[in-house]
């Protein structure tokens, strides 16, 4: 197995840290929506007359879907990118793919939750998704 170049490992650490903060921010954004709309998922959280248990508020659910989409895409990226970096990829390609993935995930959230619009959301999703697929296929070919 090839050692990961130090500069690429540093970039991976930086990108991963940004993505972890993004995932954590989504939880805060969900809570913010719940408090703004005064709708809660648990009876013990809805402790006032103006607060109620609601499991299908469209604004809260939009943020939750974006959060779930992050978990479904960023978590595999953490694993796949770290493994792919052991294949000694081109420095430039690796730096660009990591940065594009981070930008795509941030863009995806912005055009899903803040400024909903298509096809921007789909383009941001597929940019990140295709990066993971490329890394996986490259790794399989490298290690066969």
pLDDT at 72: 97
pTM above 0.85, yes or no: yes
Q: What are phi and psi of 38, to 5 degrees?
A: 55, 45
pLDDT at 69: 96
- How many C-beta atoms lie closer than 10 Å to residue 60's C-beta? 22
Cβ pair 134, 80 in contact under 8 A: no
Cβ pair 125, 109 in contact under 8 A: no
**144 residues of the chain, pLDDT tens digit each:** 678 999 999 999 999 999 999 999 999 999 898 888 888 877 777 676 566 677 788 888 899 999 999 999 999 999 999 999 999 999 999 999 999 999 999 999 999 998 988 999 999 999 999 999 999 999 999 999
> How far is 60 from 3, CA to CA, in rounded Å?
44
Exposed, middle or buried, 112 (CB in 10 Å: 0-12/13-18/19+)?
A: buried
Which secondary structure element, helix H or strand E, spans residue 53, and what is its range? strand 52-53
């Amino acid at each position: 197995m090839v050692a990961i170049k130090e500069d690429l490992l540093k970039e991976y650490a930086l990108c991963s840290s940004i993505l972890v903060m993004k995932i954590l921010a989504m939880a805060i954004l969900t809570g913010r929506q719940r408090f703004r709309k005064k709708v809660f998922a648990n009876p013990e959280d809805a402790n006032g007359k103006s607060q109620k248990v609601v499991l299908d508020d469209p604004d809260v659910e939009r943020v939750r879907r974006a959060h779930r989409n992050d978990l479904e895409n960023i978590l595999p990226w953490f694993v796949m990118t770290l493994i792919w970096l052991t294949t000694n990829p081109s420095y430039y390609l690796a730096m660009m793919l990591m940065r594009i993935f981070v930008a795509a995930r941030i863009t995806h959230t912005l055009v899903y939750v803040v400024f909903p619009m298509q096809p921007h959301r789909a383009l941001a999703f597929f940019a990140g998704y295709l990066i993971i697929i490329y890394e996986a296929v490259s790794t399989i070919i490298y290690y066969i």
